[in-house]
């Protein structure tokens, strides 16, 4: 009997100690959670959150197709002069850039310092030895990255404007240029309209087919 009382006290002490430890750990965990996460704020239904802004394109990819190339595919490179006109037909900018064999021209408008917003534009696009084509109601700047295809047959860039006189017309000046002794039967790039590597009758026939044609304008 004399030994039972201390034994009971020890058991009670152990129980209290365990309870104390559990309470202490619980308190510490609650404190840590409240410090780290806090209490999330739930917006009441009456809160009205609005986000607005304008997106404009940084990267614009144009695909154009010069007519009558030999071979007909993967042979569409030229140098493009692209005029951007706003809804008032006011010239915003003119950009000159090469297109690759797939007809693609990639413009980084942000790097160039341009800040266009979403709106309709008219594009006047002229190839290296081609007449100007007009593309209306174009929205090139609605997305951060945008691609425009101008490759339908009625959108082909018409060839034959090769004279140093930049008149955006196919006429006698271009014929006389194309048949010059220092150009005919050479690989002169501007007069090799079909890009088969030589200036000859095939190119001359393209010029004659477009004779008297003019580039499109606003
Ligand atoms: Ca011309
Ligand atoms: Ca040729």
What does the pLDDT look like over 129-148, one tens digit per residue? 999 999 998 876 666 667 88
Per the structure, the count of domains in the chain is 1
Q: Is residue 50 situated within a structural domain?
A: no
Q: Is residue 140 situated within a structural domain?
A: yes
Domain enclosing residue 101, as ranges: 59-209
Relative to the alpha carbon of 75, which ligand is closest? 2
Confidence tier at 9 by pLDDT (50, 70, 90): low
Residue-level pLDDT at 3: 47
Q: Is residue 14 situated within a structural domain?
A: no
Relative to the alpha carbon of 166, which ligand is closest? 1
Q: Is residue 107 situated within a structural domain?
A: yes
Q: Is residue 110 situated within a structural domain?
A: yes
Give residues whose Cβ lies within 5 Å of ion ligand 1.
161, 163, 167, 169, 174
More confident position, 92 or 187: 187
Per residue, the 3-state secondary structure of the chain, as one string, reads CCCHHHHHHHHHHHHHHHHHHHHHHHHHHHHHHHHHHCCCCCCCCCCCCCCCCCCCCCEEEEEECECCCCCCCCCCCEEEEEEEECCCCCEEEEEEEEECCCCEEEEECCCCCCCCCCCCEEEEEECCCECCEEEEEECCCCCCEEEEEECCHHHCECECCCCCCCCCECCHHHHHHHCCCCCCCCCCCCCCCCCCCCCCHHHHHHHHHCCCCECCCC
Residue-level pLDDT at 27: 81
Relative to the alpha carbon of 129, which ligand is closest? 1
Q: Is residue 165 situated within a structural domain?
A: yes
CATH of the domain at 166: 2.60.40.4130
Residue 1 alpha carbon to ligand 1 centre in Å: 125
Residue 198 alpha carbon to ligand 2 centre in Å: 4
Residue-level pLDDT at 68: 96
Residue-level pLDDT at 141: 65
Residue 20 alpha carbon to ligand 1 centre in Å: 98
Residue 97 alpha carbon to ligand 2 centre in Å: 23
Confidence tier at 103 by pLDDT (50, 70, 90): very high
Q: Is residue 183 situated within a structural domain?
A: yes
Q: Is residue 17 situated within a structural domain?
A: no
Residue 61 alpha carbon to ligand 2 centre in Å: 28
């Amino acid at each position: 009997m004399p030994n039972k009382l201390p034994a009971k006290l020890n058991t009670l002490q152990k129980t209290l100690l365990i309870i104390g430890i559990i309470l202490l750990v619980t308190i510490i965990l609650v404190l840590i959670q409240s410090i780290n996460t806090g209490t999330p704020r739930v917006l009441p239904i009456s809160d009205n959150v609005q986000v607005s802004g304008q997106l404009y394109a940084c990267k614009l990819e144009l695909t154009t197709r010069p007519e009558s190339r030999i071979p007909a595919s993967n042979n569409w490179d030229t140098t493009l002069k692209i005029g951007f006109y706003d809804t008032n037909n006011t010239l915003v900018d003119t950009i000159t850039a090469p297109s690759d064999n797939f007809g693609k021209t990639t413009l980084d408008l942000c790097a160039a310092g341009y800040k266009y917003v979403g709106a309709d534009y008219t594009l006047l696009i002229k190839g290296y030895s081609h007449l100007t084509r007009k593309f209306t109601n174009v929205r090139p700047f609605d997305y951060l990255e945008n691609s425009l295809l101008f490759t339908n047959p009625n959108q082909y860039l018409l060839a034959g404007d090769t004279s140093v006189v930049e008149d955006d017309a196919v006429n006698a000046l271009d014929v006389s240029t194309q048949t010059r002794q220092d150009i005919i039967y050479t690989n002169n790039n501007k007069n090799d309209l079909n890009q088969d590597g030589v200036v000859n009758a095939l190119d001359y026939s393209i010029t004659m087919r477009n004779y008297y044609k003019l580039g499109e304008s606003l």
